[in-house]
Amino acid sequence: MIGDALPAGRVEEAVGYAVASAGIAAGHVAVEFVSAERIAELNAVWRGKDGPTDVLSFPVDEDELDVAGERELGDVFICPEYTVDLLEAVVHGVLHLTGMDHEVDDGEMLALQAEIMGWLA
């Protein structure tokens, strides 16, 4: 288990599907389950928004799409207290690390997220 949140194998499976769906063959992703206080702190510092949220993603090499070998994709922080579905939060966070953004696309990210959730059922 990763804390009391999810079994590590399920997290790895979700990360694998999300990364592969973006055409990334190999990469490193860190997923951490944090308290409401910690995610609120990250939200304030990095997004300028007050209060906790469900998931935050911090990409590392998003601008280096032609990296040979394993990529350093970044970090995903999830607050179980503010998250309805932890597995979906993992998928959502990792899709952001691959460069997807539901706030500016035409629904592609959330459609892919739903498809991946079907694979994980």
**Mean pLDDT, consecutive 10-residue segments, the chain of 121 residues?**
71 94 87 96 96 95 62 93 95 94 90 96 87
**Model pLDDT, residue 26:** 80
Domain positions in the chain: 8-120
What per-residue string of b and e applies to 25-53 under the rule 16 or more CB within 10 Å gives b? eebebebebbeeeebbebbeeeeeeeebb
Number of H-type helices and E-type strands within the chain: 4, 3
Residue 31 and residue 116: Cα distance in Å, rounded?
A: 18
Backbone angles phi and psi of 103, in degrees to 5: -80, -15
- pLDDT for position 110: 95
Indicate the fold that domain 8-120 takes in CATH: Collagenase (Catalytic Domain) (3.40.390)
Q: Are strands 27-33 and 71-78 parallel, antiparallel or unpaired?
A: parallel
Which residues pair with residue 77 across a beta bridge?
Answer: 32, 56
Can you give the pLDDT at residue 1?
37
Structure-block tokens of residue 22: 């973006």
Radius of gyration of the chain from Cα atoms? 14
pLDDT of residue 66: 56
